Structure 1
Amino acid sequence: MFFVRKNIWWIVLLLLASGAYVLRPEPCTEPISYQIGKFDPKFGISEETFLKVIEEASLVWEKSINKDLFVYDSEGEIVVNLIYDERQATSDKNQELESHVEESKQTAEEVKAKFLALEDEYQEADEEYKQMLESFQKDHDQYNAEVEYYNQRGGAPKNEYDRLVREKARLAVMNKEMESKRLEVNALAEEVNSFVAEYNDIIRNVNSKINTINESAGKEFSEGEYVRDRDGRRINIYEFDSLAKLRRVLAHEFGHALDLEHNPNPDSIMYYLNNSLNMAPTTEEKGDLAKVCKLS
Structure 2
Amino acid sequence: MNSKIYSALFVLTVFAGWLIFSNGSTINRSDQKAPSPCQDPLTYRLGDIDSRFDITQKELAKIMDEVEQLWESAIDKDLINLSQDGQVALNLIYSEEQKRTDAERQFSDRITAKEQQVSTVEREYKRLSDRYEKAEKDVRQTLNEYNSKISTYNQLAKEWEGKEASSKIIAKFKTLEQEISTLEASLKRKKKNLESLRERTNAKTEKLNNLIKEHNNLIAEYNDRFSKPRKFDQGRFVKRGENQAINIYQFGNRAQLKTVLAHEVGHALGLDHVDNPKSIMHNMMAKQNMANLQLTEEDISALKKQCDM
TM-score in terms of structure 2 length? 0.66
Q: Identify the range of structure 1 (32-41 vs 192-201) with the bigger mean alpha-carbon deviation.
A: 192-201
Q: Which residue in 1 is equivalent to 2:16? A: none
Matched pairs, number: 270
Aligned equivalents of 1:140, 1:291: Cα separation in 2: 98
Q: Which residue in 1 is equivalent to 2:138? A: 128
Deviation, 1:281, is 0.8
Q: Which runs of 5+ in 2 are unaligned?
A: 1-31
Aligned equivalents of 2:78, 2:231: Cα separation in 1: 29
- Per-residue CA deviations over 1:5-64 (Å, capped at 9, x if unaligned) read xxxxxxxxxxxxxxxxx9953464322333333321121222343234234323321221
Q: 1:264 aligns with which of 272, 276, 282?
A: 276
CA 1:193/1:201 → structure 2, altered by over 3 Å: closer, same or farther?
Answer: same
Q: Is the 8 A contact 1:108 1:199 kept in 2?
A: yes
Q: Which residue in 2 is equivalent to 1:184? A: 193
Q: 2:303 aligns with which of 271, 289, 296?
A: 289
Aligned equivalents of 1:81, 1:33: Cα separation in 2: 14
Deviation, 1:283, is 1.9
Paired AA for residue 192 in structure 2: L
Q: Equivalent residue of 1:225, what SS? A: strand
Deviation, 1:93, is 4.1
Alignment of 1:159-174 (within 5 A): 159=165, 171=180, 173-174=182-183
Paired AA for residue 182 in structure 1: K
Is 2:249 the partner of 1:235?
A: no
Alignment of 1:16-165 (within 5 A): 25-26=35-36, 28-96=38-106, 110-141=120-151, 143=153, 156-157=162-163, 159=165
* Bigger Rg, which one: 1
Q: Identify the range of structure 1 (225-234 vs 243-252) with the bigger mean alpha-carbon deviation.
A: 225-234
Q: Which runs of 5+ in 1 are unaligned?
A: 1-21
Q: 1:279 aligns with which of 293, 297, 306?
A: 293
Q: 1:254 aligns with which of 244, 256, 265?
A: 265
Aligned equivalents of 2:216, 2:85: Cα separation in 1: 49
The structure with the largest helix share of the pair is 1
Q: Equivalent residue of 2:292, what SS? A: coil
Q: Is the 8 A contact 1:260 1:289 kept in 2?
A: no
TM-score in terms of structure 1 length? 0.69
Aligned equivalents of 1:165, 1:74: Cα separation in 2: 103
Identity in percent: 26
CA 1:42/1:59 → structure 2, altered by over 3 Å: closer, same or farther?
Answer: same
Paired AA for residue 299 in structure 2: E
